[in-house]
Structure 1
Amino acid sequence: MAEKLRIDKYLWSIRLFKTRSLATDACRAGRVKKEGTNIKASYEVKIGEVFQVSKAVEKKTIKVLDLLYTRVDAKKAVLAYADLTPPEETAKYKSMFQSPHLQRDAGTGRPTKKDRRDIDDLSDSFFDVEEEE
């Protein structure tokens, strides 16, 4: 008979969290849910269960395919769960790290003070968020 496997240890072993204590803290903070209900770090994982895990701004939905009792390399870890996260959720997370790429022509030298101010104004206007009153 297989030993019991806690959710915090499972999330650490499939490499969703860097340390087991981070996985435990996520459970305590209510960032690990099963069917919309917060679960404790001591919850026993069973094959076929679906969990919602929030890490900062990233939200993942995973289905347990296999139980891992120790941390394994990334290639083996991805075989132990199915990522059911909707593609638009993943795209929203990845788009946060994309910013405008400003490029100057080769051979034009360093930007002048005026060029620098223009570049800064363009960058600032891209990241400004309009506040609603």
Structure 2
Amino acid sequence: MSDTTRIDKWLWAARFFKTRSLATHAVELGRVQQNGQRVKPAHNVKAGDLIEVQQGEQQWQIRVLRILDMRGPAAVAQTMYQETPDSLAKRTQAAEDRKYFREPAAAMQGRPTKRDRRQIDLARG
């Protein structure tokens, strides 16, 4: 166990991303920030760093506790970081909001088919 590792490798080991290449891609797109700064995939992470991860609708703000560069079980991955209370509250509130409100356009997959259009016309009258 070393005291630093690449940020993309750490995100993969902490199970924020399914593959290391997905982690690398997210870092390159600026969806991951370390200590408030945009970083490159090869940037080193050390214990105590504050990392912000955005993945789809999910946003985490976490403090690095341990450095492991090998992916292990989920129970081990959860000991590598601690989510900030503010981040946890925001994610809980967002989950509650999604529970009661669904964006109508989220279920749509492109243009309506002929059958969908007929059902829409019937519903309108």
Given the two structures, how large is their TM-score scaled by the length of structure 1? Answer: 0.68
* 1:75-119: CA deviation from partner (whole Å, max 9, x where unpaired): 11111111115233112331254248xxxxxxxxxxxxxxxxxxx
Residue 3 (structure 1) shift: 7.2
**Structure 1, gaps ≥5 residues long:** 101-119, 121-133
Q: Confirm or deny that 1:47 pairs with 2:72.
A: no
Partner of 1:111: none
* Alignment match, 1:29: 29
User: Which structure 2 residue ranges, 5 or more long, are not aligned?
Assistant: 102-122
Rounded Cα–Cα distance in structure 2 between residues aligned with 1:62 and 1:69: 17
Secondary structure, aligned partner of 1:98: helix
Correspondence 1:54-65 to 2 at 5 A: 54-65=54-65
Amino acid at match of 1:45: V
**Structure 1: 4+ residue segments shifted above 3 A:** none
The residue that corresponds to 2:95 in the other structure is 94
In angstroms, what is the RMSD of aligned CA positions? 2.1
What TM-score do you get using the length of structure 2 for normalisation?
A: 0.72
Judging by fraction of residues, say which structure has more helix. 2
Q: 1:23 to 1:76 in 2, by over 3 A?
A: same
Select the structure that is richer in strand.
2
Equivalent pairs: percent with the same residue? 34
Structure index of larger Rg? 1
